[in-house]
Amino acid sequence: MVEISRELVQSIIVQRPSQSHKGNYGKVLLIGGSTNYGGAIIMATEACVNSGAGLVATATHSVNLDALHARIPEAMFIDWRNRSMNDLIKQMDVIVCGPGLGMDSVARGLLHSLRESVTSQQTVVLDASAIDLIAQDRSLMPENAGKIILTPHQKEWERLSQIRIPYQNDSANHTALNLLLPAGNGILVLKSNHTKVYNCQGEILVNPLGNPGMAIGGMGDTLSGVVGAFCAQFGASMEVAASAVYVHSYAGDCIFKTDYVVRPVKLSAKIPQVMKELSSK
Ligand SMILES: NC(=O)C1=CN([C@@H]2O[C@H](COP(=O)(O)OP(=O)(O)OC[C@H]3O[C@@H](n4cnc5c(N)ncnc54)[C@H](OP(=O)(O)O)[C@@H]3O)[C@@H](O)[C@H]2O)[C@@H](O)CC1
Ligand SMILES: Nc1ncnc2c1ncn2[C@@H]1O[C@H](COP(=O)(O)OP(=O)(O)O)[C@@H](O)[C@H]1O
Ligand SMILES: [Mg+2]
């Protein structure tokens, strides 16, 4: 078992060349935030902006638009009922789908649009409700994406993989990932107090960082935005996903030195500083 090392992360977060613009750092679309779970997509969007994606757009229920605008003016917002999602999806490099998405027919329709529109040039990050919806109906898996990064917590992974939590060992997880994504384009970020990142080829990276102050609603939503932004800037691979996990926990550990509880929004605000510290020439 290989730990995610500081050196690996430093090799991923390269310094930005002077001659560059927002188009060089990727376009990310986040889809989520139903009437009850607007906070989830706000936290994912904020983390995505803080983690350096060049352009961020968020498709959500209209009830969330004012709060999103007020909180994160850097991002563009789309009312998911008033726009052809298929056209929007085609314009993006990375699509993060699921935080606060909910489980109703609108949510299923959005996942269906994603499945229909996504191409092999794009990366999809699936979290939370998106994983639960696919657990109910495997035909919603956006399998044509170039890379599909699944970021379940253990209960979501139980629903998707059918492996009960006590039986989620490396061998079973690897087999399940390959059954879900037989084309070999899957990466599993299985979240816990020791998050593990798996690829379809059987490699595993373990997160050595993190703390119990991070056990709070919104922490995974925040991670999904970091993963999306990292894939947009640095390309989608297991090493890049693992670097996002490491940076998220590193920021959490910085805050945990002084704070009993690590608020996701505080962690998110710390990410630009952590990326600067870990960036290599
Ligand atoms: N502010 C907002 O808008 C927020 C909105 N959110 C949105 O809510 C939606 C539902 O997502 P969800 O994660 O809250 O619910 P669910 O999938 O039922 O998981 C909880 C169940 O799993 C179990 N469990 C076992 N192991 C576990 C583990 N390692 N980590 C975590 N749980 C573990 C646990 O069992 P317990 O230990 O409590 O018996 C419990 O029964 C989704 O769209 C999400 O984005 C949230 O992000 C929060 C902030
Ligand atoms: N005890 C812990 N130690 C380290 N990290 C933790 C701990 N508890 C939770 N986390 C991290 O917090 C995040 C929780 O994700 P998730 O359950 O999806 O949260 P939410 O859906 O509420 O945003 C994961 O990144 C997980 O690794
Ligand atoms: Mg979650």
113-125 pLDDT tens trace:
999 999 999 999 9
Ligand 2 within 6 A of 261 CB?
no
CA distances from residue 62 to 66, 105, 121, 193, 230 in whole angstroms, order as listed = 8, 16, 29, 34, 27
Pairing of strands 2-3, 76-79: unpaired
Mean pLDDT of all residues in 110-115? 96
Domain carrying residue 181: 2-278
pLDDT tens digits along 43-69 = 999 999 999 999 999 999 999 999 999
Q: What is the pTM of this model?
A: 0.98
192 annotated as a binding-site residue: yes
Whether the predicted pLDDT of 83 surpasses 90:
no
The CA distance from 215 to 237, in Å, is: 26
Tally the domains of the chain.
1
Alpha helices in 118-235 (DSSP H): 128-136, 154-161, 170-180, 219-234
Taking CA atoms only, the protein residue closest to ligand 2 atom 25 is 220
- pLDDT value, residue 210: 98
- pLDDT value, residue 281: 63
CA distances from residue 128 to 212, 222, 253, 260 in whole angstroms, order as listed = 20, 12, 24, 26
Taking CA atoms only, the protein residue closest to ligand 1 atom 1 is 39
Q: What is the CATH number of the domain that holds 80?
A: 3.40.1190.20
The CA distance from 225 to 96, in Å, is: 7
Whether the predicted pLDDT of 277 surpasses 90:
yes
Q: Residue 2: beta bridge partners?
A: 205
Whether the predicted pLDDT of 84 surpasses 90:
no
114, 89 Cβ separation under 8 angstroms:
yes
**Ligand lying closest to the C-alpha of residue 218:** 2
Taking CA atoms only, the protein residue closest to ligand 1 atom 13 is 128
- pLDDT value, residue 13: 97
- pLDDT value, residue 153: 98
119, 87 Cβ separation under 8 angstroms:
no
Give this complex's ipTM. 0.98
CA-nearest of 124, 180, 184 to 157 is 180
